[in-house]
Structure 1
Amino acid sequence: MSDHEPAPQPQLDDLQARARAWIAGDPDETTRSELQALVDAGDEAELRERVGVGLEFGTAGLRGIVGAGTNRMNLAVIRRTSRGLADHLLATVPDAADRGVVVGFDARIDSEAFAREAVAVFAGAGLKVQWFPSPRPTPLVAYAQKVLDAAAAVVITASHNPPEYNGYKVYAEGAAQIVPPADAAIAAAIEATGPSVDIPLVDPLTSDLVAPVPASVVDRYLDELAAARPDTPGPDLTLVYTPLHGVGGELVQRAMAEAGFADFHVVPSQAEPDGRFPTVRFPNPEEPGAMDAAVELAREVDADLVIANDPDADRLAAAVPDGAGGYRLLTGNQIGVLLTDHLLAGSDADRPLVVASIVSTPMFRDVAAHYGAHAEFTLTGFKWICAAARDLERADGRSFVYGFEEALGSSVGTVVRDKDGIGAAVAFAGLARSLAAEGRTVSDRLDELYRRHGLWVSHQHSITRPGSAGLAEIATAMAKLETQVPEALAGQQVLSSVDYRTGAEERPPWLEAHDMVAFELTDGRALIRPSGTEPKLKIYVDLRGEVRPEDDLDARSEELLARATTVAEELAAFVGL
């Protein structure tokens, strides 16, 4: 069978047998009844969705819709995953039992129950557990693992997914997200775990192995955030903030107050943690409309800056005045370039290092070069950004200053070995304040950077081909690039190409074999890869244009963006999609 040929589909009898086996091992009456009703109804389509496959444990842990079955997030999945992780730690990490595990959770509807179940399993396996008994931001949990020297940390969160989702995120060595081969080893340990009902549990409320994370950890986190960013004296700014019904509000307000931002306004309708996300269709600040309430409040108070976190507070979004009474939403690339410039300008590191995901703007490299910093690109995902940072710190004596990805992820210094929307929010507010002290704005600084380094624009183009036939089409499209590459795209010469499916042994581990091809163009680059989670082919195009003093940047940007769009369309046509 080829890699792209679909596996044989289980028939109804087999699906019902799988469902009955799952029901027998499920400790939760609610999900047992839910799955039993599907068996009784003979609902083949829904059973196929629920038990035809299982959630796959990978470098991001687990994420899925909450419900009954192997392909859903539920107490049974949490139990088996936690026991598998515990067995892996006990077998591979010295002193794992004593170092233990840190557990945290966000404000989603099932998160606390799932977290308590994970704590009960870890303690039942003999591991010490320190946990946050109330909802907390993901970066704080990762930080707690670092300062408590725990063997691992688990966060029950689905980040910015819709309300019906939940997830299980794992941090391990170096208090960073797991990377291969640890993910496969943990997945194998989970697979070897027996039925959920047979897994030993300990009552978190009575066990000597379980304790809350000390309150001092929060104070240490805020102190380290302050030490990691440049000092930015200047006038007080009017700031508007939204946590999008998530868990970032309390710590962001504390951090902003300690940084001297007193005129701070939180969107009232989105201030409290609420896993239903009642005011937004999709709680992702990148989504159209997600920041509308924040922008509306910004107009009312004449804010200098609008900032937002996603619900677990590991991403940062920002908007700035547009000069016409409205607000301009900054892209993740723009935030990344601005913070790269700001943090390198304020760094006293002898050998500064900045890291970005490979699909982020190449302008980042130009900004880094201006300060004599080393810029490194990695595969998509903060697990790779942090892995590269740790390796280059050890091997080359580099000092990690900043990392980012275009999907609104930022990490300021080494406080948290993952993206941290809280630290990034305070750093970005500091950037705005330092500019205000000189009579300039964030938009002014962005324009200055474009005029110094050239105007970079970024365009993403996605092609959806649903179903197994669609996946085969995408695979055929990518296969064409094994033997043929275009000579030019929209007037841009293809100067060279890199096929990341081959040659991994000649690249660092954070650029391992990956289904992606990159093209160097006359004035930029293009990348093409299948989505890892959806039946889509994704094309990323970044183009650079020189800027003359008399040029209007908005008009020049539109011109470049139109050309980038054509590059993407011609590349899609070249591969037959």
Structure 2
Amino acid sequence: MTQSAISAVAQTWITHDPDPDTAAELSACDPDELARRFNNPLTFGTAGLRGPVRGGPDAMNMAVVLRTTWAVAQVLKDQLAHDSTGFIPSETQVVVGRDARHRSDEFALAAAEVLAAQGFQVLLMLAAVPTPVVAFAVRHRSATAGIQITASHNPPADNGYKVFGKGGMQIISPTDREIEAAVARAPHADEIPRATVQTGGLKEIRHYLERAAHVRHTTGSLRVALTPLHGVGGEFALDALAMAGFDDVYVVESQFAPDPDFPTVAFPNPEEPGATDALLTLAAKASADVAIALDPDADRCAVGIPTADGWRMLSGDETGWLLGDYILSQVEPGPVSEATVVASTVVSSRMLAEIAAAHGAHHAETLTGFKWLARAGGPGTTLAYAYEEAIGHCVDPAAVRDKDGISAAIAFCDLVVALRDQGRTVQDALDGLALRHGVHVTGAVSRPVEDAEAAMSRLRTTPPAELAGFPVSVEDLLHRPGEQRTDALILTGGDERTTVRVVVRPSGTEPKLKSYTEVRCAPTDDLTMARARANTLNDELATAAALF
């Protein structure tokens, strides 16, 4: 848009902004700042809308929430109109929840009121809840949709808007694009009708906790160190762990209460350096058996274990291997296992596929994000487990068809007890997997770029001829059919003993190229030497990826 067009659109927005604070903020912006805010409205990315809490269509604010929710309502009604039952207001439910970020309570209430005015029966959660509670409630109540106000592990200044469809699965195209198109024709924010709603959800929360506790199979005590990283998962995790029989839990007190400013961490993501330092210190001091870190909306779970060299956090892939192997070990061999599917994403480790084959099950590879993982498998199959390397784990797909940090934490504690009963440790289990399936070492590299699309184009035109000394073959995922098509490249090389792999894709939220590396060395009894070689080669992959 031209400067004058932007000015006209901005003035109309300001005039109809229902929040006087953001209206005043926009009125004080210079033309360049207004251009930045109005040229690029928020769109649905891998996990919904996310942006800073401030004025304008490129951010999270009351006007954006109202107009987006109006659009969601129109798309849902259009979809229901094409169903055999049609749109029956008394039977059409939507669940609305929120985390504890800045203004999450206001945004959730506004979304619920808009949906109610559009004729939906709305369950507005009475308090801040983990994201998997909303996904569970949608599935448990056979609701039409769910909305969770959350920015997960984004910085404190951000908030977001996540939409679940039927079955409690995150929406995919064309639904997300249809919502964006409806936003473009939405009424002015202050003209969108709202109706009074009542809060509830205690029954759904209780059922969620009971179901999360149900993933346990062993008996016996375990000492757990826990941090929710200032998010909403603390009390929920304690309750679920206690229901599962894990009541010897030490918590990081300074990080236990929800706090939208996340004062003790530079970045509220368990994967970030330093984020779990307080947890590991507590785990060592308390002589814990396992350490658990949840992200702020408790849909992700990071695990720490004691080793001969002190405590360390597992990677998302390591946790994925362990949980995948443990869950598949409980599946009956034969026809049941042959109809069982486990899933991981294209940027995750390849080991889960080997683990699945060893158990007589199937492995599915999906695009990045749980909106794809939740749909893995096909007719006649049962999804038993799914994970992504970014510490997202779905251990009970029949109940929560999304990542769930709390049930994953219980499943991992259950695994630790099962190993202890066998006289083994988590490190022993990792060694056992490496002996059977080879040593796998993974990593990730992010490189800032001015233009991610141009950088991907250059890499497609002139890919590296070799990686870590091996000739490289290239698969371009833009050439894959249908839902498997995405903007990513897979670079692979190796010989009969070693495989190297790098997946490169543009970030969906920042001007960056993200590269995911993996080295596999064939099974050997000398794990020390194999790991040293794999780490050396992975370092070489990381060095090369930093130059893409």
* TM-score, with structure 1 as normaliser: 0.88
Give secondary structure in 2 for the equivalent of 1:63. strand
Give the drift of 1:109.
Answer: 1.8
Question: Corresponding residue for 1:353?
Answer: 341
Question: Corresponding residue for 1:207?
Answer: none
CA deviation map 1:274-306 (0-9, x unaligned):
111111111100011111111111121111110
Give secondary structure in 2 for the equivalent of 1:557. helix
What letter corresponds to residue 347 of structure 1 in structure 2? V
What letter corresponds to residue 95 of structure 1 in structure 2? F
Question: Corresponding residue for 1:30?
Answer: 21
- In structure 1, the gaps of 5 or more residues are 1-8, 205-209
Cα separation, 1, equivalents of 2:452 and 2:362: 38
Q: Name which of 396, 408, 415 aligns with 2:391.
A: 408
Question: Corresponding residue for 1:533?
Answer: 509
Question: Corresponding residue for 1:428?
Answer: 412
Cα separation, 1, equivalents of 2:362 and 2:31: 55
Cα separation, 1, equivalents of 2:521 and 2:453: 37
Give the drift of 1:570.
Answer: 4.2
Cα separation, 1, equivalents of 2:351 and 2:412: 18
Cα separation, 2, equivalents of 1:359 and 1:245: 28
What letter corresponds to residue 23 of structure 1 in structure 2? I
The answer as to whether partners of 1:59 and 1:183 remain within 8 angstroms in 2 is no
What letter corresponds to residue 312 of structure 2 in structure 1? R
Cα separation, 2, equivalents of 1:177 and 1:551: 40
Give secondary structure in 2 for the equivalent of 1:501. helix
What letter corresponds to residue 313 of structure 1 in structure 2? A
Cα separation, 2, equivalents of 1:50 and 1:164: 16
Cα separation, 1, equivalents of 2:453 and 2:487: 14
Question: Corresponding residue for 1:339?
Answer: 323
Give the drift of 1:534.
Answer: 1.7
Question: Corresponding residue for 2:83?
Answer: none
Cα separation, 2, equivalents of 1:164 and 1:531: 20
Give the drift of 1:211.
Answer: 4.8
The answer to which of 432-441 and 162-171 deviates more is: 432-441
Matches within 5 A, 1:57-136: 57-58=44-45, 60-93=47-80, 94-95=86-87, 97=89, 98-136=91-129
The answer to which of 555-564 and 178-187 deviates more is: 555-564
Question: Corresponding residue for 1:158?
Answer: 151
1:212 aligns with 2:200: yes
Cα separation, 1, equivalents of 2:521 and 2:527: 11
Q: 1:566 to 1:445 in 2, by over 3 A?
A: same
The answer as to whether partners of 1:99 and 1:149 remain within 8 angstroms in 2 is no
Give secondary structure in 2 for the equivalent of 1:126. coil
Give secondary structure in 2 for the equivalent of 1:49. helix
Cα separation, 2, equivalents of 1:138 and 1:406: 19
The answer as to whether partners of 1:358 and 1:380 remain within 8 angstroms in 2 is yes
What letter corresponds to residue 154 of structure 1 in structure 2? I
CA deviation map 1:508-565 (0-9, x unaligned):
x3x1x2111213322142222222222222222211113533442xx54243122123
CA deviation map 1:223-277 (0-9, x unaligned):
33344x351234x221100011111112211111121112111111111111111
Cα separation, 1, equivalents of 2:285 and 2:515: 39
Question: Corresponding residue for 2:533?
Answer: 559
1:478 aligns with 2:459: yes
Cα separation, 2, equivalents of 1:334 and 1:303: 20
Cα separation, 1, equivalents of 2:401 and 2:156: 27
Q: Name which of 214, 218, 229 aligns with 1:244.
A: 229
1:363 aligns with 2:351: yes
Give the drift of 1:571.
Answer: 6.2
Cα separation, 1, equivalents of 2:208 and 2:545: 46
The answer as to whether partners of 2:280 and 2:312 remain within 8 angstroms in 1 is no
* TM-score, with structure 2 as normaliser: 0.93
The answer as to whether partners of 2:171 and 2:371 remain within 8 angstroms in 1 is yes
1:504 aligns with 2:481: yes
Question: Corresponding residue for 1:198?
Answer: 191
Cα separation, 2, equivalents of 1:226 and 1:269: 26
1:233 aligns with 2:219: yes
Question: Corresponding residue for 1:544?
Answer: 520
Q: Name which of 148, 165, 184 aligns with 2:177.
A: 184
The answer as to whether partners of 1:89 and 1:96 remain within 8 angstroms in 2 is no
Cα separation, 2, equivalents of 1:357 and 1:471: 21
Cα separation, 1, equivalents of 2:149 and 2:545: 39
The answer as to whether partners of 2:475 and 2:491 remain within 8 angstroms in 1 is yes
What letter corresponds to residue 536 of structure 1 in structure 2? K
Q: 1:341 to 1:96 in 2, by over 3 A?
A: farther
> Number of matched residues?
533
Q: Name which of 266, 277, 284 aligns with 1:281.
A: 266
Cα separation, 2, equivalents of 1:376 and 1:560: 25
Cα separation, 1, equivalents of 2:211 and 2:2: 53
The answer as to whether partners of 1:109 and 1:275 remain within 8 angstroms in 2 is yes
Q: 1:222 to 1:283 in 2, by over 3 A?
A: same
Give the drift of 1:59.
Answer: 5.5
What letter corresponds to residue 546 of structure 1 in structure 2? A
What letter corresponds to residue 54 of structure 1 in structure 2? P
The answer as to whether partners of 2:46 and 2:508 remain within 8 angstroms in 1 is no
Cα separation, 2, equivalents of 1:362 and 1:232: 29
Cα separation, 1, equivalents of 2:218 and 2:36: 53
What letter corresponds to residue 161 of structure 2 in structure 1? Y
Give the drift of 1:25.
Answer: 1.4
The answer as to whether partners of 2:109 and 2:124 remain within 8 angstroms in 1 is no
Cα separation, 2, equivalents of 1:551 and 1:199: 63
Q: 1:57 to 1:559 in 2, by over 3 A?
A: same
What letter corresponds to residue 233 of structure 1 in structure 2? T
Cα separation, 2, equivalents of 1:563 and 1:550: 17
Give the drift of 1:18.
Answer: 2.6
Give secondary structure in 2 for the equivalent of 1:519. strand
Cα separation, 2, equivalents of 1:66 and 1:550: 53
What letter corresponds to residue 15 of structure 2 in structure 1? A
Cα separation, 1, equivalents of 2:453 and 2:423: 56
Q: Name which of 150, 160, 182 aligns with 1:167.
A: 160
Question: Corresponding residue for 1:145?
Answer: 138
Cα separation, 2, equivalents of 1:562 and 1:68: 48
Q: Name which of 372, 379, 384 aligns with 2:367.
A: 379
Cα separation, 2, equivalents of 1:428 and 1:475: 38
